Amino acid sequence: MKIYFATGNPHKLKEGEMILRDLKGVKIEGINIPYPEVQGTLEEVAEFGAKYLYTRIKKPVFVEDSGFFIEVLKGFPGSYSRYVQETIGNRGILKLMEDFKGEERRAYFKSVVGYCDEDGVKLFKGVVRGKVSYEIRSKGYGFAYDSIFIPEGEDRTFAEMTTVEKSRISHRKRALEEFKEYLKKRLSSP
């Protein structure tokens, strides 16, 4: 069975392929077909995107929508993560966080996978909790907020961890693991 992963982001595709690689009987293939990103929650974006793409290609397809949420900023940038990253960027975020210390720096990444096939759409979610670092720290891995996010139980940022290390604990990993379990059950049921 071939399942299409609709994304224009090579980092996401690499993480996705790595996580779903060992799923027997399924081949993941990236496709870069843009889909309208409705303004709304990650769930709404993923559901709309998956349905939209299925009506276009008529093949099993999934999208993944994610965001970065800072608790003390009431979830900002959240659904606006891409825009905020492209405008004020990590320096702007660190500036907004200047007065916050310790636990006040709590943040999380959330990922929602939307999968659609002939049976309709299903959503799978994953979260990774951690803190906003005090400075930008990167060894050249990852992208966007990775260089200011330290996951729980770590002292390195995501951008100081290899893709393999990040893919073991990331929000995307958790959402895709749920998706994988669903596919396993589906493939094994008669």
Minimal distance, residue 10 CB to ligand IMP, in Å: 12
What the block records as the tokens of 35 is: 């889909």
Site for ligand IMP in 20-59 (CB under 6 A): none
Whole-angstrom CA distances from 18 to 27, 51, 81, 106, 166 are: 12, 25, 24, 28, 11
Q: What is the torsional sign of CA 179, 181, 182, 183?
A: positive
The minimum distance between CB 69 and ligand IMP, in angstroms, equals 10
Active site residue 65: yes
* Helix (H) and strand (E) counts in the chain: 6, 7
Nearer to ligand IMP, 52 or 109 (CB): 109
In the bound state with ligand IMP, the residue whose beta carbon lies nearer, of 161 and 183, is 161
Question: Does 66 interact with ligand IMP (rule: CB under 6 A)?
Answer: yes
Q: Phi, psi at residue 142, to the nearest 5°?
A: 70, -165
How many other C-beta atoms can be found within 10 angstroms of the C-beta atom of residue 185?
9
Is residue 114 within the footprint of ligand IMP (CB under 6 A)? no
User: According to DSSP H, which parts of 97-170 are helical?
Assistant: 163-169
Tell me if 85 contacts ligand IMP by CB under 6 A: yes
C-beta closer to ligand IMP: residue 3 or 66 = 66
In the annotated binding site for substrate, the residues are: 7-12, 66, 143-146, 166, 171-172
Residues that bind ligand IMP (CB under 6 A): 9, 65-68, 81-82, 85, 109, 142-146, 170
Residues classed as catalytic: 65
